[in-house]
Amino acid sequence: MGRPPSTVPDGWSGGPRRSLGRSSSGSHEALPPRIGPYLLEGELGRGGMGRVYSARHAQTGAKVAVKLLLEPCPELFARFQREVEAQARADRHPSVLRIHTAGLADGRAYVVMDLAPGGSLEERLRRGPLAPLQAAALVRDLARGLAHAHACGVLHRDLKPANVLFGERGEPLLTDFGPARLAGSDRLTRTGEVLGTPAAMAPEQALGEVDRIDERTDVYGLGALLYACLSGRLPFEGGTLIATLDRVVHQAPQAPSSVQPGVPSALEELCLAALAKDPADRPPSAAAFADALDAFLAGAGAPTTPRRRGVLLAGALAVGALAVGVLAAALLARSPRAAAPTPAAARPEPGAAADRATERRALGPVARAEALLARGEVAGALRLLREAAPIDPAACLRLLRIGREHPEAGVSEEERSRLLAGLALRPASKDPDLEAEVLTALFAPPCRFPQDARRRFRAWAKAHGRERPARGRALARQALKGLSPEARGAFYEDLAALHRDLPSAVSLLAEEAISDLAQGRSYGGTHLGADRAQDPLQLLLELAKKDHPEALYLHTFVVWKFGLGSAAEVRRGFQRAARAGNPDAPWALSLLAAEQGREEEQRKFLDKAVACKSRPGLVWQAVLLADEDPERARTLLERRLPLWRNPLGPEYDYRARAHCVLGKLLLRGSPSPTERARALELLRGAAGAGNAEARELLESLDAAR
């Protein structure tokens, strides 16, 4: 808080030289007495990537710590850069070790940090566990620092006693952000790769499930730190690496009180909640965990027994933060009293959760900020929203919107990036509409955090895509608008994978394929050309090969209208789509028959399309009735055309023709002013879509006036 920003170079040009680090014999080379303006004095410790030395500035005499990368391996150098950037982003909090500068000196990569003379938590715990209140206060302070890091877009991912140092006044300091993940960056961690310390890592880390790692992964790390402080050891110490990882994933940790008697049960509940196997069962954020520890400390004046657990948790709820309420509810659900069945009369009604969420929002910082804005108190509203933004996504979204709509409000581009980074790393909201708003903000062009946004979109679509199809389509369109061309290809793959969950996924792929083809982008020959894993048309083809009804129909339609296949291939494709159950395939077969002059076959397929309730088929039946029975055709078109929404690329031709026919029917006889206005609107739309007949009719009407 109030610290000057760290100085970290934008580029580390050249990288480390091969001669640095270990010699070929494996012995360490002698280190120079000086790195830049810093004189090295003695080794403080060593880790996976380098060594840390005490040092002093040659001119000022200021004492600092200098970390040197000793291995010349490019991947380690990249991780070293990542560590420095992550810690520099987060170090303006008093519980994060501050970085002074970083760079290359004589080809050696180094970083200069505050000296922490109090040693590490690991060293302190060798003398035994901490007193419960001391442990709670220490982890509470670390949780506050971690919440700040999360708000800056940084996940630590390696919380353990060795990575907690003590400053001059004994204050705990987070350090060693080596495995950290930065929101929106190209990840150095691949799916299936395990980074971190096995005895302290979350199950999703142990399984290498990169897409599931978020703020709650670090909450698990805080739980592991609290466990170590209370018991003197990490939750799953001992055994081989594989055995440890297996226990992390499948075995519940031993209760701290069984290792070290005297641990208050309320504090033990908080610790074990943070160590839950499923991220959804943990406190939702580091800030929420810190609030719960604050509440425990506020109510811990008397000895704690299991009987007092509900009292303590009620105290936590009274702190006022929504996150604490969520945590308290989760803990109460685990208590013995919560095991009794809820009487029917006391059970909440289906809409009760939504009503409570609405009530919370009405009393929350966003509503208070809106009231301030209505009174013209912009500065007060911004201050309120900025205070709430690290733990309240709704406040974060409102702040972003103010910055977008009112540039004079002073929401800088740097603050906007920081807010988006915090949103990207937060766990998904359980409110589908709020989560959709978060996704809309993350996908806004240019999308800064494509991997995080795509991960959250996949989760949202799987959970809510079928019940909210229009919102899902809008989110996908926003993604396609905001993602870079490179990221868009991966999003096409997401859409293909979500074809069962997102009703519009297949039609969106078809629209993108049509857009590419209409703009002259090549697909490398025929539609059965070389492998193009991220091309929308190729992805459509892969789904069509699995007899997906809509993919079969749309892929064949695109191939037909853009001349990418023979008439025989097109016919077979539509027949397969019809057999698979697509209702519009018979309509397409009727159009194909009409093109080839087979009128009887055209009628047969059109009748089948009408029987299948194909929307374009029903419209087309009315179009063909226009000459035989104009009044009936008009009635049918008035009723059916609105059902044919979101016409797909080549189908615009047919929809435009239907609009033209209805426009002509409305102009028959003596139309009323309303009918005439509607007819002109339909004809202009049809002409704009390329219908020549509509264009000619409009020209003749203009000439007649």
Tell if the pTM clears 0.85, that is, is over it: no
Q: Above 50 in pLDDT, residue 469? A: yes
8 Å CB contact between 108 and 68: yes
At residue 230, does pLDDT exceed 90?
A: yes
pLDDT in tens, 658-701: 888 888 888 988 888 888 888 898 888 888 777 888 888 888 88
Give the tens place of pLDDT for each residue, 618-636.
777 888 888 888 888 888 8
* pLDDT number for residue 152: 75
Q: In which residue are the tokens 């971690």 written?
A: 146
Where does the pLDDT of residue 305 fall: very low under 50, low under 70, confident under 90, or very high at 90 and above? very low
Report the alpha-carbon distance of residue 3 to residue 244 in Å, rounded.
40
Max alpha carbon distance in the chain (Å)?
Answer: 100
| pLDDT at residue 438 greater than cutoff 90 | yes
Q: Is the pLDDT of residue 450 over 60?
A: yes
Cα distance between residue 480 and residue 530, in whole Å:
24
Is 494 known to be catalytic? no
Mean pLDDT for the stretch of residues 509-538: 66
Distances (CA, A) of 76 to 21, 476, 531, 642: 12, 37, 34, 60
Q: In degrees to the nearest 10, what's the CA dihedral of 385, 391, 397, 402?
A: 20
**Is the model's pLDDT at 75 over the cut of 80?**
no
pLDDT of res. 496? 95
Count CB neighbours of 702 within 10 A. Answer: 8
pLDDT at 23: 34
What does each C-alpha distance from 454 to 124, 140, 207, 424, 447 come to in angstroms? 42, 32, 20, 10, 10
Q: Is the pLDDT of residue 616 over 50?
A: yes
Name which residue leads in pLDDT, 432 or 29.
432
pLDDT digits (tens, 9 = 90+) for 104-129: 777 778 888 889 888 899 999 999 99
Q: What domains does the chain contain, in order, with CATH numbers?
A: 34-114 (3.30.200.20), 121-335 (1.10.510.10), 623-705 (no CATH)
- Please provide residue 359's backbone torsions phi and psi, each rounded to the nearest 5 degrees: -65, -40
- pLDDT tier for residue 617 given thresholds of 50, 70 and 90: confident
pLDDT of residue 370: 81
Q: How far apart are the first and last CA of the chain?
A: 74
Which of 91, 158, 176, 392 is flagged as catalytic? 158
